[in-house]
Amino acid sequence: MLAACSRTTSGLSHTPTGPAGTGTSGASPTAAPATQAATQEKDYRGIDPDTRASLDDLQRAWEKGHEPWRASAPDVARAHLLSLGYADPNVRADLVNAHREDGTAVAEVVYSVGAAIAAPGGVHGIVEVGQLPGGKIFFVRASSSDGLALAAVERRAGSLTAHMTASGPGQVSGTVRVPGGAAGAARSAAPDGNGFAVLSFDDKDGSAPLILDLRQRQGDRAWIVEARVQPVPAPPGNGALGPGSVLRLDGVGPVKVGMPLEEARKAAGVPLTLIETPHCRSLQPDAVPPGVVLTSTSGGTVDFVNVSAGSVATAKGIKVGSRVGEVWNAYPGQLTDHLRSEPGGRSGRIVLRSRDPGLQGLALVFEIAGDRVSSMLAGRGVEAEELCA
């Protein structure tokens, strides 16, 4: 099922299925001033090719008739899977979860190896592809598989730590590399009894992006996960959005509900990526603080804040992971209970509203699972059952 696993440039030579993206035609990339090229490289999120300069070279070659299949997202995904060593991967012709991130078109291509797309057995997964504004070819941003998942990445001074969940007991191995460079020494670890595994790598230069490659073998099957880990941002200034920011009914840290998205982006003081879906536009921190998303359902202003991980807490100290009892003790007489008892504990919602006229129409919702806070939603419309739908 999986042949040699060296990372090589694949030359897929078959009749292309035709353009599958939504990008618009634009002028051919030309040599940019050094500062502009550096900015483009910094903002690039690809792993194949792994540098913006390489993507520009491929675009120019494509315009001259070379490798016409690069205009087809499924074909680009298949070429990448072949380059990983998968033999004869199946890819779906349609794209799923299409959206935009800072103008870049992003979508997912579903694949399987050793079984049909919807059939059991084999390896199933997703290749995430992108297409730059004005670009005509696709590039690969990440890949994932059903048997191995990247749960979180911690990048601190001197080290990068990957937290994974695995469906089987086999050793998980991994490498990291700087875009355009060779992979460093491999690390490996066996999942614990709950399927969790942790790998740590040396990270001497936190200012450069890294490509993370994780693999697990079981018999003739192999699961592969790839991701681009962005540089560690400079420490946020005083008042910037960060791990210690306070979540309120009307916002988080320096960001307030009702702010135009661009104003919120400036106020945050940390790098944010704009993600556009059919029903919402969201700003998500590139690295810090993790688990915080600023979302607009109206299209122009921040409507609510979603906190699903990390240390961001309310003024009373409630955060993801807090117990139900702690929530009730923090806000006596101010909460509405929408909980139900389940075998693993209580689940549902607890809603906090304020009598302050200035906060009318706002709420803070604590999502509960297994007697603990699993996420927090603050702002307008957060009591609706379906958000961004």
Q: Each residue of 202-228: pLDDT tens digit?
A: 988 778 899 999 999 988 889 999 999
Asked whether residue 27 carries a pLDDT value surpassing 50, the answer given is no
The pLDDT tens digits of the residues spanning 367-379 come to 999 999 999 999 9
Q: For the full predicted model, state whether its pTM sits above 0.75.
A: no
* 242-255 average pLDDT score: 93
Cis peptide before 49 (omega within 30 of 0): yes
Q: Would you place residue 234 in the very low, low, confident or very high pLDDT band (cuts 50, 70, 90)?
A: low
Residue 13 banded pLDDT, cuts 50, 70, 90: very low
Mean per-residue pLDDT for 382-388?
A: 87
pLDDT at 23: 35
Examine the pLDDT at 76 and tell me if it is beyond 70.
yes
State the pLDDT confidence band at 233, using cuts at 50, 70 and 90: low
Question: CA–CA separation, 153 vs 88, rounded Å?
Answer: 31
pLDDT at 149 over 50: yes
- What is the pLDDT averaged over residues 161-179? 93
Average pLDDT, the chain: 87
Lowest average pLDDT, out of 2-16, 69-83, 279-293, goes to: 2-16
- Sketch out the chain's domains with CATH numbers: 34-145 (no CATH), 148-229 (2.60.40.10), 246-380 (2.60.460)
Over range 323-332, report the average pLDDT: 94
Mean pLDDT of 132-140: 95
Please, which pLDDT band fits residue 235 given cuts at 50, 70 and 90? low
Provide the pLDDT confidence category of residue 236 given band limits of 50, 70 and 90: low
Query: What burial class does residue 11 get, using C-beta atoms within 10 Å of its C-beta: 0-12 exposed, 13-18 middle, 19+ buried?
Result: exposed
Region 120-133 average pLDDT: 94
Identify the CA nearest to 375 among candidates 297, 290, 254: 290
Q: If you average pLDDT over residues 2-26, what whole number do you get?
A: 35
CA 238 to chain centre: 27
For position 19, what pLDDT does the model report? 35
